[in-house]
Chains A and B, each alone.
Chain A
Amino acid sequence: MSEVLMKTVVDCATGEVKSVPLTAAEISQRDQDAAAFAAQKAAEEAAAAEKAALKESAKAKLVAGEPLTEEEAAVLVL
């Protein structure tokens, strides 16, 4: 049996508090939110990995006395 997701709804006009199951539309929205969040996280992690790789490459070139690319220089300059 699948779990029924419940949300707590507080009516600030009446003070009534009730627990109601999520509708199909709300569950669909929840899934879209989760997918959007996962996509954001992936993009964020990819950008962080790219920046870290640029830093490593720039560091190695500096030690070896090789010229840096513009992108590598950009991650080193504050």
Chain B
Amino acid sequence: MIEIGHLAAFLAFGFSIAQGWTGLSGDREAAGRLALSAFAAMAIAFAALVLAFARSDFSVELVAEHSSTLKPFIYKLAGTWGNHEGSMAMWCLVTLGFGAAGAAWLRTDRQVFEARAIGVQGLLGVGALAYLLFASSPFLRLDAPPLQGSGLNPLLQDPALAAHPPMLYLGYVGYSFVFALAAAGLMEARIDRDWAKIVRPWAMAAWVPLTLGIALGSYWAYYELGWGGWWFWDPVENASFMPWLVGSALLHSIIVTEKRGGFAAWTALLAVLTFCFSILGAFLVRSGVLTSVHAFAVDPLRGGLLLTGLIVYGGAALALFAWRAPALKGGPAWALVSREGALMLNNLVIAAATATVLLGTLFPLIAEAAGRQMSVGEPYFNLTFAPMMAALLAFLPVVQGWSWGKADAGALLRWIGGFAVLFLAMRLLAGVLREFPAGAALGVALGYWLIFGALVEVGRRGLWEWRAVGPSLRRCLRLPRRVWGMTLAHAGVGVFILGAVVETTARETRTVGLAAGGSAVVAGWTLTLEGVRAIEGPNWYADEARLIAAKGDRQVVLEPQKRFYPAARMPTTETAIHRTGTGDLYAAFGDRREVDGEPVWTFSVYYNPWIDMVFGGVVLIALGGVFSWVPRRRRVDAPVREAATT
């Protein structure tokens, strides 16, 4: 079966070449059928690889190096993409999957446009498959297979991490089809309202899983790494965050192109840049230039090939844009104070914020190349990225009600006054309740401001009347899903900011050494170590502590573990978390040492207030994306119809 899979991957490669050729020749039918055939072949190849992992076939070198018979079945399956070669196979599968989805569902009255988009996607598949089959093959066989494999990196043996790469790849690679559509539009010099209508669902189909993929990675880091935090501005995190940022700008820019026919060149450029950032992310993570749990490939040859791919595809994309963009038609004129002006500001600030993240990510690498060691951490991003985004978001509730073309600037001052009052109230409240820095009060005010703004916008579009709550509510509920999607996403940003600001500002941390029977107090909770016992799992051994946490008449048990995975010869920390509803009591198991002949264990204990709002906010943002993605519903109320133009 594995050889049939290997052959199928080569057939997918051949069909993708033909797909590229026929597509660019304008043969929609042939390109579509070849896209479906290439995807079917790649699906067989990937299934064969999954089967080899499921059956612990150690005659496959990749399985021998990244699996073991002792692993739980779910992680045997996840092991397929928990390594460089397997993850690149998944990349190819998703690339070809988007090509097939395009072939099946892309139905416009522009046959040549469709053919070219599918053709460009085919060429992207050719590049990915060439790299997979000739430089990173997961199908290599061993003449003398071992009886036991080396096991999967224990840090990756986790449900969130099993789902994280597929979601991330749906996002990264999803943008390849958005790029293909942009390339096809640029070839025709036709980036217009029709084009934007076609592209929008595809952009959303990439953005939603990318959002969830980043959130899953962050959630995993929170509970698995034992550091108490959820975002570290790690270069690998940034590598996925940059395409998300540019992708978010793209979504907003597409709205202008769709509604007004404007921003054509800018939207096309964002589509190209989002794709380039996706490849850059793949290069940073896969090339080995970064040291991380994700940096599977440390082979300079592979890194060089990925860089070549980045230069060839990115360069070709930008060259196509430079060549064809001057031929694109502009939209109607707009004033600075207008919906277009606000969305352009949004785009520019997000682009500048992305540039600061890019600089912070690449600067240590550039410094290292120049012979200097330098790290760029949280303070840099707090000083650059955070203020820019805060300023942008503060305007969001104000400008989302503005009209197209030209808006009334008079309301701006009233809204600014409202925000100032809210900020002062938060500052006073924070000062009374506890010592909150001014920046944190601003952040909390911003969070509430965004939630309030999102609700106000729904009310405005639903022609809310306090004298007729029932009919108003019905009108609001009948608003198009896109409006609800926008509302959920913007409110989600508010919820996220509230959680992020409160969690990072008010987090309590303490490292304690406890002997059996010893106690320590953290955030009002008294933790008593009842004892430590040795336990074992299917493929690991662990020391498990039993901590009794008490506060008032509440008492809970926390059982953090320190695991050891013999196959990979790696320890991991399994944190214990008690959710109180308003925050997490979080314990991570540290080292054992002897004090006066008695064993003492170290624990890192955190109290993370409002942490659920961080992840809940991101889920709301993604849910907003899903709502916007679902096709528009027919509207019935005439008044709503008037007001509900997005």
A and B are partners in one complex rather than unrelated chains? no
Chain B residues engaging chain A, CB cutoff 8 angstroms: none
Chain A residues engaging chain B, CB cutoff 8 angstroms: none
